[in-house]
A and B are shown apart, each in its own frame.
Chain A
Amino acid sequence: DIQMTQSPSTLSASIGDRVTVTCRASQSINSWLAWFQQKPGKAPKVLIFDASNLESGVPSRFSASGSGTEFTLTISSLQPDDFATYYCQQYHSYPWTFGQGTKVEMK
C-alpha cells in the first residue's frame, strides 16, 4: 500500500498569512494526487486534482504543485473561510490512501 504522510499535523496561522502543507508518498504516484478541504460535520470538498489543477469554483489563492513523491498545497493569503482540515489523497492505485490531515487553526 502507498503511505501518504502530511506535515504539519496542525498549523496555526493568521488572516493574510501564506500557508503551506506538505504531502509525501511512500512511492511515486506521478501526479495522481488530490487535495481536499473538510470542515466539521461536512463532507470533504475537492480543491485540487491531478496534483496541480484547481477545481472549478475554488478560489485562486489555493495552488498546489509536485509530482512523484513530494507535493505541496499553498494558500497564498489565508482567509477566514479557510480554517479547516486539509487532506491529500493518492488515486494512483488501490487501495486509495489519504494523508492523516492538517488542521489549519487560528493563531
Chain B
Amino acid sequence: EVQLLESGGGLVQPGGSLRLSCAASTFNFRTYAMSWVRQAPGKGLEWVSSIRGSRDPTYYADSVKGRFTISRDNSKNTLYLQMNSLRAEDTAVYYCAATNYDFWSGPGDWGQGTLVSVSS
C-alpha cells in the first residue's frame, strides 16, 4: 500500500493556472502508474489523466486535453498536474491515485484529495 498526499489546491480565477502535487510514500514510486481523478461538488467521479511509471505515455480526458499536463519526478516520489486556462467547470476535489500492476491495473490507492475552486 502506498500513502498519497495531495497539495496545491485553492481558489483561482477563470483563465488562471494552478499546479497540484501528490507526494507518495513508497521507495518504488517509479514502478507505479499514477492518475488524477476529480469530483465536482455533489457529482460523481471523473478520470482526468494518467501517466506510466517511466513518464511516457500519458493519457488525458477530452475535457482537459490541451489545458492540463501530467508529469512526475521519480527522484522526488511526486506526481504533478499543471492546470492552465482553468474554467468554472474544473471546480472539483482532485484525487491522485496509484496503480500497482503487480496486483491489478486500476487505481488501487487514493489520496485524500485537494479542492480546486475556479471562480471570479
Q: Mark A11-25, 1 if CB is under 8 A from B, else 0.
A: 000000000000000
A-B contact count (CB 8 A): 56
Q: Are B45 and A43 in contact (CB under 8 A)?
A: no
Query: Beyond A49-B104, A89-B106, A100-B44, is A94–B50 a contact (Cβ under 8 Å)?
Result: yes
Chain B positions within 8 Å of A50 at CB level? 104
Knowing A43-B113, A44-B95, A96-B35, the reply to whether A87 touches B45 (Cβ < 8 A) is yes
Give the interface centre of B37, B44, B59 by most chain A CB atoms within 10 Å. B44
Closest B residue to A43 by beta carbon equals B110
B46 on the A face (CB < 8 A)? yes
> Are B61 and A95 in contact, with the CB atoms below 8 A?
yes
Interface of B is mostly: loop
Looking at chain A's contact residues, is the secondary structure mostly helix, strand, loop, or mixed? loop
Give the CA-CA distance A55 to B46 in the complex, in Å: 22
* A91 and chain B: residue at smallest CB distance: B106
Q: Name which of A43, A87, A100 has the most chain B CB atoms within 10 A of its CB.
A: A43
Chain B residues within 8 Å of chain A by Cβ, number: 21
Complex: chain B residue closest to A96, CB-CB: B47
Q: Do A32 and B110 have beta carbons less than 8 Å apart?
A: no
Residues of chain A within 8 A (CB-CB) of B47 are 95-98
- Kindly state whether residue B105 has any CB partner on chain A within 8 Å: yes
Q: Does A34 have its Cβ within 8 Å of any Cβ on chain B?
A: yes
Q: How far is the CB of B15 from chain A (nearest CB, A)?
A: 25
Query: Is B95 touching A95 in the complex (CB atoms < 8 A)?
Result: no
Task: Report the nearest B residue to A38, measured CB to CB.
Answer: B45
- A36–B106 Cα distance when bound, in Å, is 11
Distance of A55 Cα from B109 Cα, bound (Å): 11
Chain B contacts for A84, CB-based, 8 A: none
Instruction: Check A98 against B44 for contact (C-beta < 8 Å).
Output: yes
B111 at the A/B interface (Cβ < 8 Å)? yes
9 A-B residue pairings within 8 Å (CB atoms): A43-B111, A46-B107, A49-B108, A53-B104, A55-B108, A87-B44, A87-B45, A91-B107, A98-B44
Binding site for B on A (CB under 8 A): 32, 34, 36, 38, 42-46, 49-50, 53, 55, 87, 89, 91, 94-101
